Structure 1
Amino acid sequence: MTLFNSRVSSYQMNYFMRANVNSATVKLQEATKELGTGRHANLFKELGPRSASALQMRVTETTTQSFVTANNVLASKLETTLAATNSIRETVSSVLELSLLNLTRPNTGAEALQAEARAAIESVVGSLNQSFNGDMIFAGIASRYAPMTRWEDVNPDTGFSPEGVINSIVGAGPPDAATAGTMIADIQAVFDSSYAANPNMNYEATFYGGTPLLDGGGNPNARVTARLDSDQELDYGVQANDPAFREALRGLAMLASVDVSQVSDEATYQAWMQEAVDSLAAASEGILKITTDVGFQQEVVETATQRLEDVSIIQRLQVARLENVDAYEVSAQIASLEAQLQASYSVTARLGQLSILNYMR
């Protein structure tokens, strides 16, 4: 008959107990960490093949949040653009109102028109040189440098100042209606950037230094764009060489270069004032269209951002279902492990007191 010795030494028992305590301690530490973070301590072990889905969802959510952040920045930029264009329109409208009062003949305020127009030019140019986060809003793609040259400043690339360009055409002012018409045509050509007498005097040479409206082949240059999400892009660039701003500065330049209160010939006066008023009126209407477009773009950005935030909620819930732990379940596990450790410590302590000497007493 074979007998099996099932007795276990106290050393073996202590070894087993220590191993059990170590295992329970590690599990308790992991459970405590899970309770604190709300996530599985070992995500890949817990999810297995599903961990790839969790990682992909996190990448998608990170991309979504990057679009939300970019859209919020774009919304602020559009708000700055809208404020600048509204400021320009108010400035133009103020000069236009005074000009209309003096349209057919000099009336009250005619002597102040030149100074008002000069101050308005400074205000408009300052608004067109508005920047946001280091980018010049109205410069187009070439947004590192201010797009507009100040009225009296000399453009280093052409050697002319905007004021000098207009004064070279107007001189002491139009002496008669025929000469006024010639001057008006030359000024129109300057602001259309088609002044053949000296191309360096054109708007897109001396006045404006941002992205030209047309490239070398006569095709429209690309505008500033933003990607609102992976499937939607928005063209939102407003440039200081857009027709509305050119018209605003053309009308103001005509009034700033001539003291109309000193023009004695009625036909000459009316021809000059009518052209300036028409230019300012067209500018006011054009700038209103720009502000409307910017407002629509703001709505598009807001809608896209809201859609992304709704998608983000769903994505975060999906990630949470995979990665998060049940707090009640983890709390119960911690309580069980603590009870297990307390029992193990108690048994270990009693085993430590066992010895042959204690038995022989």
Structure 2
Amino acid sequence: MSWLSTRMSTYQINYFMRSSVSEASLALQRAGQELSSGRRADMFGDLGPRAGIAITMRAREENTQSFLDANNVLEHKLDAMLLSVDAVRAPVEEVMQLALLNQESAGTGAFAIQQQARSALEAVLSSLNNSFNGEFLFSGTSSEVPAMNRWSEVNPGTGLSPEDVMAAIIGTGPTDVGSANAIVAELDQLFAGTHGTAGYNYEETFYNGTPELDGSSNPNERIKGRLDAGQELTYGIQANDPAFRDIIKGLAMLATVDIEQIPDPDAYKAWMQEAVQTLASGVQGGLDASANIGFSQNLVEKAKERLGDLSMVQRNQIASYENIDPYEVATRMKGLETQLQASYSVSTRLSGLSILNWYR
């Protein structure tokens, strides 16, 4: 009969015990990390192939958050645009009301119209040069430059100021109906951009932003924003839009001419009627611009709500993959602590064994 005897040395036992203690300690450390963070410490080890799904979902959520951040900025930008457009209309309406009172003949307050129109003009130009986050709001895609040239400031591109151009065209003002109509016709060319004299066009001396048309006479692109992966919003309002051209034209007509000095009553009526009608058209265009901004704000708000709902779904899906059950982890930690205590106890008892103790 043969006997198979398997022996294990004290060294081997200590080695295995140390290895067991090390593994349990690492597992306990990992469990503690998971309990403190609420997430799996080794997502790939725990989830295997499903870890790729979690990574894809997190990338989608980051993309969603980037759209939400961009929409928040756009929302504030639209708020600034709306405030600026409203600020443009307010002084214009005051001038228009005073002009209406003096439309047929120079009466009470006529002496103040020129100065009030000049002040309103400066306020309008200032509002159209408002900026947000370093970008000028009404310059179109050329948002790095102010939209408007100031009234008496020389445009370096033409060597003229808006005041110079208006004074050159209007001169001392209309003297009869014929001259009033001729000056108005030339002003129409100026603000439409069809005047034949260099520098005597709105987009040359008055306006500095993106032109209405490109070199091929096609409309230039407006400022756009992407609300989400499948929705784009064109929201750009520019200071060369018809409403603002009309506002500046009407104010410039009243700011350049002292209406009390127009000698002919019919010329006076023709001049004032043109100024009032132009201002009224500009104010109505400003109201339409405010309505368009409000519509854009509504679209941004709806996009934010939609993205917020999508983000909540995605975050819940990510949590189902990445997050841990704190009660399960706490139970596992308790088991690991018990295992370590047992291992330490056995190691202590083994370290006290020796052949001398056996001989005693």
TM-score where L is the length of structure 1: 0.98
Secondary structure of the structure 1 residue equivalent to 2:199: helix
Shift of 1:103: 0.9
Aligned partner of 1:309 in structure 2 is 308
Paired residue type of 1:165: V
Correspondence 1:32-181 to 2 at 5 A? 32-181=32-181
Deviation of 1:170 after TM superposition, in Å, equals 1.1
Amino acid at match of 1:217: S
CA deviations 1:197-246 (Å, max 9, x no partner) are x0321001000111111112221111111111110000000000000000
- Aligned residue type for 1:133: N
Whether 2:229 is the aligned partner of 1:200: answer no
- Name the SS for the 1:233 alignment partner: strand
1:294-325 CA distance string (max 9 Å, x none): 00000000101110010000001101101111
Is 63-72 or 2-11 further displaced after alignment?
Answer: 2-11
Q: Secondary structure at the match of 1:234?
A: strand
Matched residue SS, 1:200: coil
SS at the partner of 1:201?
Answer: coil
Q: Tell me, which stretches of 5 or more residues in structure 2 are unaligned?
A: none
Q: What is residue 210 of structure 2 aligned with on the other side?
A: 211
- Whichever residue aligns with residue 8 of structure 1, its letter is M
For residues 216 and 192 of structure 2, the distance between their equivalents in structure 1, rounded to whole angstroms, comes to 17
* Number of residue equivalences: 360
Per the alignment, residue 359 of structure 2 pairs with 360
Residue 89 of structure 1, CA deviation: 0.9
Identity of aligned residues (%): 50
- The residue that corresponds to 2:17 in the other structure is 17
Unaligned ranges ≥5, structure 1: none
Structure 1 residue ranges, 4+ long, deviating more than 3 angstroms after superposition = none
Matched, 1:234 2:207: no
> C-alpha distance in 1, partners of 2:249/2:216?
26
The question of whether the paired residues in 2 share the 8 Å contact of 1:21 and 1:341 is answered with: yes
Q: Which moved more, 1:182-191 or 1:260-269?
A: 260-269
The Cα shift of 1:52 comes to: 1.1
User: Residue deviations 1:242-277, cap 9 Å, x none?
Assistant: 000000000000000001122232111111110000
1:335 corresponds to which letter in structure 2?
K
Cα distance between partner residues in 2 of 1:36 and 1:278: 71
- Could you tell me how far apart the structure 2 residues matched to 1:336 and 1:214 are? 75
The residue number in structure 1 matching 2:298 is 299
Report the Cα offset of residue 8 of structure 1: 2.6
Q: How far 1:6 sits from its partner (Å)?
A: 3.4
SS in 1 for 2:287: helix
Deviation for aligned residue 1:360: 3.0
> Counterpart in 2 of 1:272?
271
Task: Report the RMSD for the aligned CA atoms in angstroms.
Answer: 1.0
Q: Shift of residue 172 of structure 1?
A: 1.4
What TM-score, normalized by structure 2, do the two folds share? Answer: 0.98
Q: How many angstroms apart in 2 are the aligned matches of 1:262 and 1:130?
A: 35
Tell me the distance in 1 between the aligned counterparts of 2:103 and 2:84.
28
Say whether the 8 Å CA contact 1:193–1:199 is kept in structure 2. no
Distance 1:323 1:2 in 2: 57
